[in-house]
Amino acid sequence: MATNKFLLAAGIAVSCGLWTAELKADEGMWLPSLISERISDMQSKGFKLSEEDIYSINQASLKDAVVLFGGGCTGEVISPEGLLLTNHHCGYRQIQQHSSVEHDYLKDGFWAMSREEELPNDGLYVRFLERMEDVTAAVLKGYEDGMTEIQRDSVVNANSAMLTEKAEAEGKGLKADVESLYYGNQYFLFIYREYSDVRLVGAPPSSIGKFGGDTDNWMWPRHTGDFSIFRIYADKDNNPAPYSADNVPYKPKKFFKISASGVEEGDFTFIYGFPGKTSEYIMSEGVRYISEISDPSKIGLRTMRLDIQKKYMDESRAVRIQYSSKNASVANSWKKWQGEMKGIRRLGTVAAKQEYEKRFAEWAKGTEYEGILDRLDTLYAQLEPYAYAADWYNESAATAEIVKFATGYMKKWTEQMFSSSTVRIEELGREMEKMASAFYKDYYLPIDKESFAAVMTAYAENVPENFRPEYFNDGLRKFGNAEVWADSLFGKSVFADSLSFRTWKDSLSVICNDPATEFGDAFGKWYKDTIKPVTDSINREITLLYRDYMRGQMEFEPQKSFYPDANLTLRVAYGHIAGYSPSDGIYYTPVSTLDGIMEKDNPEIFDYDVPQRLREIYREKDFGRWGVTDSEGNKTVPVCFIATNHTSGGNSGSPAINAEGNLIGINFDRVWEGTMSDISFDPAFCRNICVDIRYVLFIIDRLAGAHHLIDEMVFTEE
């Protein structure tokens, strides 16, 4: 059976003893429950604690102070009363949703000065990992050699469902997932406790929390105070409970102590969090498609949308608030992909992988792995036009806001109407109303319409006719071009403004025949019927081969240690504080300070407009206990630092921990030259970026005056 061979291969690697030597320095995101395999390496690099301090199911350990925040970020508990730190950009959606022109918390910041002022957040939750266990044998029970991938999937799914159901029945608020590691060579069960009453406690103004904005995003030197503060609430027995005014602050098993003693180049650091997705073991063809075809296409389409958003956001403060969150998320991947493409090119990853594959193929002759790469190559060639069609669809037609709302609205309406006879019409009405007001609060039609015309024009020019819906080809013939089409669609749709929507919202026939609904339905149906079945089936075959190729790579290089690709499960990444050289003649030092904020200060530039109060504090050098004095006697405050930890999207908000296990910062980003680390880690360029905890405390203390929060925390000299 596949597992046994896999376990055998891993066993060889362990017993070989050489296995840390071959791994490039500081690459890797490790499973906490298997950290015993790394602990001596961690300790040799300066870590002072034991494996039990990192992960234990018998005693409180650091894992009990780390949470998955809102399904896409990480957070950490920093007080005995459930106070939680994460990034400003992770809490952005919540801060934005509580904001209006009158209470602009994005612009001015928000500080709850008492527990009563802490703001509840619909839909937000955090998850603590209770435990994780290898369930490979249980998941593959009933699997037999020779089964098809579909049959295997159904065995895996049925067994996983049983395991998760059993695990969730163990206690209140438990959520369980079975996750595949190493392309299904191994399976782990993760059991979490989920808390859904999570309230906003504090956020600095965006001129601090998002200082540098999208100009500095993914860049070093960086000066962003990227943090926000929440509090977890529980019922009176400390159990998870939905929001209720009677809930009380959660009492954690473990919380981080804070070290304000600072960081220096070379210091050991460790990031504990939830990286989302990496693809370190894919073959050259996969990398070529991403870096030469997919990334450039997606970047081009997003450039158009971002230019249009910027034009309108610059004109109006209300529009700036409405689109700030949407704009940041479009801009974020857009910029990352550009760094990734460049990094892959600079590293020569495609050629390096091709060379590796040649050696692999040579070695594989006569083994079960023979021919695997040729088969993968053929599948990639078959996949490419479909993947291309899907990428273009996702970044064009699928981004039209009015279309998304129309189809979403209709789907909900019809589903609820026809699914159950007991549905109460008033209740449904209220829900639909909630959905609509959330949409219209942040909708500005000119942006949507212009973006639609721009991306659909590019779509018409770049996607071959036979890989587009017939509906689109017909429409293009009818309207002549996407701009005329946009005039018609946005002119006629009842979803175009909230007034006409409210007039027609209950008329199913109007809604079904609306041009926005039609557009979304036609594309959705085309994707579901003609693209997805093909990509699904090819991807299934690719996964099957990757399962073998992964195992093959481990046998091929038994001296190398392998870590599973990220999949939004808890990982340990360790390294050290380090600068880097982005290009010839430049060396970046690893720590930035308040002086750098003042160097960038420019009231004319939105991203660099420092709050007046910060200017004053800087002038008076009134830094309290958070200031430092450099060798020349200059007083300043440390702001951000970089290190060699291997992180990814999802690691935002993760605790940056020192050798003694105390909190020294919050991870929030990576440097631009190193964003290819999701595909290929280069120790010379890959750096994660953290905000120094002293800057966070300085802002809470000196700028916000929220001393009561600092009083809750526990400080240590180490």
For binding to ligand ARG (CB under 6 A), which residues are involved? Answer: 89, 210, 213-214, 217-218, 328, 331-332, 649, 652, 668-669
568 binds, among ligand ARG, ligand ASP, none (CB under 5 to 8 A by kind): none
Question: Which residue lies nearer to ligand ASP by CB, 353 or 670?
Answer: 670
The catalytically annotated residue of 26, 216, 226, 669 is 226
| Number of shown-chain residues binding ligand ASP (CB under 6 A) | 10
Could you say which of ligand ARG, ligand ASP, none residue 331 binds, taking C-beta under 5 to 8 angstroms by partner kind?
Answer: ligand ARG
* Nearest-approach distance from CB 638 to ligand ARG, in angstroms: 20
Element (H, E) at 538: helix 532-556
- Residue whose C-alpha is closest to residue 396's, from 213, 527, 529: 527
The least CB distance from residue 334 to ligand ARG, in Å, is: 10
Q: Is 207 a catalytic residue?
A: no
Take residue 3 and report the two structure tokens written for it: 């597992």
Alpha helices in 169-289 (DSSP H): 206-209, 213-216, 284-288
Tokens representing 471 are 């509906």
CB of 670 to ligand ARG, least distance (A): 7
Task: Find the part of the chain contacting ligand ASP (CB under 6 A) among 10-18, 148-156, 643-651, 693-701.
Answer: 643-651
Identify whether 89 is a catalytic site residue: yes
Answer with the entry of ligand ARG, ligand ASP, none that 475 interacts with (C-beta below 5 to 8 A by kind): none
Residues contacting residue 646 through CB under 8 Å, at least 6 positions apart: 26, 27, 28, 29, 573, 575, 677, 681, 686, 688
Please choose, from the candidates 134, 172, 208, the residue with its C-alpha nearest in 3D space to the C-alpha of residue 668.
208
Provide the minimum distance between the beta carbon of 91 and ligand ARG in the complex, in angstroms, as a whole number.
11
Closest contact distance (angstroms) between CB of 210 and ligand ASP is 12
Q: State the Cα–Cα distance between residues 405 and 516, nearest whole angstrom.
A: 9
- Which helix (H) or strand (E) segment holds residue 45: the answer is none
Provide the token pair at 79: 């007080």
* Of the candidate residues 650, 661, 674, 683, the single one contacting ligand ASP (CB under 6 A): 650
Q: What angle do CA 668, 670, 676 make, to 5 degrees?
A: 140
From ligand ARG, ligand ASP, none, interface partner of 651 (C-beta below 5 to 8 A by class): ligand ASP
Task: Classify burial at 596, counting beta carbons within 10 Å of its beta carbon; exposed 0-12, middle 13-18, buried 19 or more.
Answer: middle
- Shortest distance, CB of residue 344 to ligand ASP, whole angstroms? 16
Is 182 or 668 the residue whose CB approaches ligand ASP more closely? 668
Give 106 or 189: the residue with its C-beta nearer to ligand ASP.
106
Q: Which is nearer to ligand ASP, 326 or 532 (CB)?
A: 326
Which among ligand ASP, ligand ARG, none contacts residue 650 (Cβ within 5 to 8 A by kind)? Answer: ligand ASP
Residue number with CB closer to ligand ARG (89 or 505):
89
615 C-beta neighbours (distance < 10 Å), count: 14
CA distances from 590 to 83, 88, 579, 685, 694 (A): 29, 22, 4, 13, 15
Pick the binder of ligand ASP from 651, 658, 662, 680 (CB under 6 A): 651
Smaller CB separation from ligand ARG, 87 or 164: 87
Q: Which of 225, 240, 649, 665 binds ligand ASP (CB under 6 A)?
A: 649
Residues ≥6 apart with Cβ < 8 Å to 176? 163, 164, 165, 167, 168, 189, 190, 191, 192
Q: In whole angstroms, how far apart are CA 652 and each of 250, 529, 667? A: 23, 36, 6
Q: Which stretch binds ligand ASP (CB under 6 A): 361-369, 537-545, 590-598, 649-657?
A: 649-657
d(CA 570, CA 296): 31
Nearer residue to ligand ASP within complex by CB, 30 or 501: 30
Based on the shown chain and the rule CB under 6 A, indicate whether residue 648 belongs to the binding site for ligand ASP.
yes
Q: Taking CB positions, which residue lies at the least distance from ligand ASP?
A: 652
Among 652, 658, 662, 680, binds ligand ASP (CB under 6 A): 652
* Among 523, 562, 668, 672, contact with ligand ASP (rule: CB under 6 A): 668
Tokens representing 596 are 């750098």
- DSSP H helices, 348-371, are 349-364
- Asked whether the beta carbons of 447 and 326 are under 8 A apart, the reply is no
213's contact among ligand ARG, ligand ASP, none, with CB below 5 to 8 A by partner kind, is ligand ARG
Nearest to 663 by CA among 718, 591, 589, 592: 718
611, β-bridge pairs: none
- The catalytically annotated residue of 88, 89, 223, 646 is 89
Task: Using the minimum distance from each CB to ligand ARG, give the nearer residue, 331 or 697.
Answer: 331
CB atoms under 10 Å from CB of 425, counted, come to: 10
SS3 for 107-139 is HHCEECCCHHHCECCCCCCEEEEEEEEECHHHH
Residue 214 interface partner, choices ligand ARG, ligand ASP, none, CB cut-off 5-8 Å depending on type: ligand ARG
Q: What is the closest distance, in whole angstroms, from the C-beta atom of residue 643 to ligand ASP in the complex? A: 12
Q: How far is the CB of 567 from ligand ASP (least distance, A)?
A: 14
**Smallest distance from the beta carbon of 675 to ligand ARG, in angstroms?**
9
CB of 24 within 8 A of CB of 683? yes
20 binding partner (options ligand ASP, ligand ARG, none; Cβ < 5 to 8 Å by kind): none
Annotated catalytic residue, options 652, 654, 677, 680: 652
Beta strands per DSSP E along 196-306:
197-203, 228-234, 248-249, 258-259, 268-273
C-alpha–C-alpha distance, residues 631 and 245, integer Å: 52
Amino acid identity of residue 538, one-letter, is I
Q: Which of residues 62-91 bind ligand ASP (CB under 6 A)?
A: 73
Helix (H) or strand (E) holding 27: none
Distance (Å, whole) CA 400 – CA 403: 5
Which residue, 459 or 668, is less far from ligand ARG as judged by CB? 668
Identify the residue among 280, 669, 682, 692 touching ligand ASP (CB under 6 A).
669
Residue 25 sits at the vertex; the CA angle it makes with 674 and 336, to the nearest 5 degrees, is 10
For tokens 């809930």, name the residue: 247
CB of residue 372 to ligand ARG, shortest distance in Å: 34
- Residues serving a catalytic function are 89, 226, 652
Binding footprint of ligand ASP on the chain (CB under 6 A): 73, 647-652, 668-670
